Structure 1
Amino acid sequence: MLSFISKIVAMSIFIYLCIVAPSASGRIDKGTASLSRYRTDATRTKPTRPAGVPKSPHDNRYNPSSTSVPRGVRRDRQRDRSTQTDIPLRNNANKARIGARKSLARSRAATPTKQRRQNEQPTPEPTGDASASTTVYVYGPNAFALLLPQNSGEMVSDAEEGGIAYCTDGSGCGNPFPNGLITGAAYSASADGSYVQITGCMDSSKFPFADNDDGGQFDVRYPNGAQCTFGGYGASFIEQVEPSANRFCLRCCKSANDQQNCNSHQDRAGCPVAVPGTYEFGEVGCS
């Protein structure tokens, strides 16, 4: 039995040495040769085209100096040319628009702004005889008198013909202001002595004004015999009382018909326009 197995092993070794080993060695040699050729090709220098020999017309590589370029590159170059043409056109249009705006701005600056003309018609003549009950005055922030409605709940505009004078306590008239009515007052006078004025704030709830009364104006026309002691009877003065705004103002001019300083036609403008002055007193304001 052992002799039979030994024969089989010996035969297998013989077949391997005679057939399998030589073929495997040949494949290894061929692989080594192929690798050697690859290394030789990789390190080989590419041949250069001799000078003067034109490039093949079938060469599809992009050459910037050549007029024959691939299709995609030609489209790009065409777009570049169109862009180079359009940009200056847009810039020129922008420059034209900017120039037009500057010209318009210069023309507007050169044209004087129209100012709203002030009504300078003569002050109407005084009405009635002078009366102490319709006389106002301005001596200082604690000594002044104002014309106010005589009847409870009467609108200021309706009381223009029947208003009477009220004044600060101890300043000389028979009707002192109710306590708490005046919350702030500021006195001023012009440098040339042409007028004096008092402006300020009030608490309209301290006087029997009509509800939601926007106010009105007293002047030399109304009430009858109205005057200010600064200029005397006939001299211009304007007084506005605005209960809804908690605001009042009085300016007395030195001369008659002074429509520059005491413009009686500003009766609907409100105190800040008719008599510019102080209407804020720290934490106490007119609102």
Structure 2
Amino acid sequence: MFIPTKVVSVLLAFAAVGFASPTSELAARSGPYNTVMINPGGYCMLAPRIPGMPIAVSGPSGATQSYCNHPTGGQGQMPPNFWTPTLRANQGIHGGPYVQLTGCINPGALGLNSNDPGGQYNSNGRFGEPGNPRGSACAGYAHYIERIEPANRRACIRCCQDPADCPINPEAACPAIIPGNYPGC
């Protein structure tokens, strides 16, 4: 079978990129379009990049985008009236650190369908899957879970080192999986 030289060169270039750096697993699997971030200076969260698309459909289909209140490149701009989250940092079940954001949202500000019951994004997937969306990650942490519930007007994100602190339960609502501040949602 003949494979054009140009195709081989491109494939080798991609292979070199994949193996060139022994940096963290996060760097190897994440990008500006699928990275969650929480720190005192700002945050990024995943959401559908297609207006009105259901949350539960956007992750498996790869139709997500990272939206940040201070984007640095490749991310979408989080509208200032979308979310005023409460930041909390703590130690988890086994003593590992976690950081989280919880609060009420304005679904229309980000083009979300206000009747959508919502869904969950996470780094680990279920049943051995590679995350939802595939390859997504939280900057500086080994695991994350994010849930957006437009119909309930709330969202929550937790980034953690221990997977026990980021429980994956697609049927559970924000207050059950990430207890926090949801005033009047």
Aligned partner of 2:122 in structure 1 is 219
Secondary structure at the counterpart of residue 272 of structure 1 = helix
Residues 207 and 230 of structure 1, relative CA distance in 2, 3 Å threshold: same
Q: Give the 4+ runs in structure 1 shifted more than 4 A.
A: none
Deviation at 1:193, TM superposition (A): 4.6
Secondary structure at the aligned position of 1:277 is classed as coil
Alignment of 1:238-253 (within 5 A): 238-253=145-160
Q: Is the 8 A contact 1:267 1:274 kept in 2?
A: no
TM-score, scaled relative to structure 2:
0.72
3-state SS, counterpart of residue 53 of structure 2: coil
Q: CA deviation at 1:211?
A: 4.6
Counterpart CA distance in 2 for 1:237 and 1:152 is 24
CA contact (8 A) 2:99 2:159 kept: yes
* Aligned position for 2:67: 166
Question: Against the structure 1 CA distance between its residues 187 and 129, is the aligned structure 2 distance closer, same or farther, given a 3 Å change threshold?
Answer: same
Deviations 1:161-180 (A, max 9, x none): 32110011x35353111241
Asked if the contact 2:122/2:132 (under 8 Å) is kept, the reply is: yes
1:279 is aligned to 182
What is the aligned counterpart of 2:113 among 195, 199, 210? 210
**For the Cα contact (< 8 Å) 1:130–1:224, is it kept in 2?**
no
The answer to whether the 8 Å contact 1:198/1:249 transfers is yes
Q: Computing the radius of gyration over CA atoms, which structure comes out larger, 1 or 2?
A: 1
Instruction: Sort the Cα spacing of 1:261 and 1:157 in 2 relative to 1 into closer, same or farther, 3 A.
Output: same
Is the 1:143–1:171 contact (alpha carbons within 8 Å) kept by the matching residues of 2? Answer: no
Q: CA deviation at 1:201?
A: 1.0
Question: In the TM superposition, what are the counterparts of 1:37-76 in structure 2 within 5 Å?
Answer: none
The sequence identity of aligned pairs, in percent, is: 29
Alignment of 1:172-187 (within 5 A): 172-173=72-73, 174-182=75-83, 184-187=84-87
Tell which has more relative contact order, 1 or 2 (C-alpha 8 A, sep 6+).
Answer: 2
Count of aligned pairs: 146
Instruction: Tell me how far 1:152 sits from its aligned partner.
Output: 1.3
Candidates 32, 39, 42, aligned match of 1:139 = 39
Matched, 1:155 2:59: no
* Distance in structure 2 (CA, Å) of the matches to 1:197 and 1:211: 23
Contact persistence 1:199–1:250 (CA under 8 A): yes
For 1:253 and 1:179, locate their aligned partners in 2 and report how far apart those are by CA, in whole Å. 26
More helix by share: 1
Q: TM-score, normalised by structure 1?
A: 0.48
**Structure 2: gaps (5+ residues):** 1-25, 124-130
1:268 aligned residue (165, 171, 179): 171
2:45, 2:96 → 1: CA distance?
A: 21
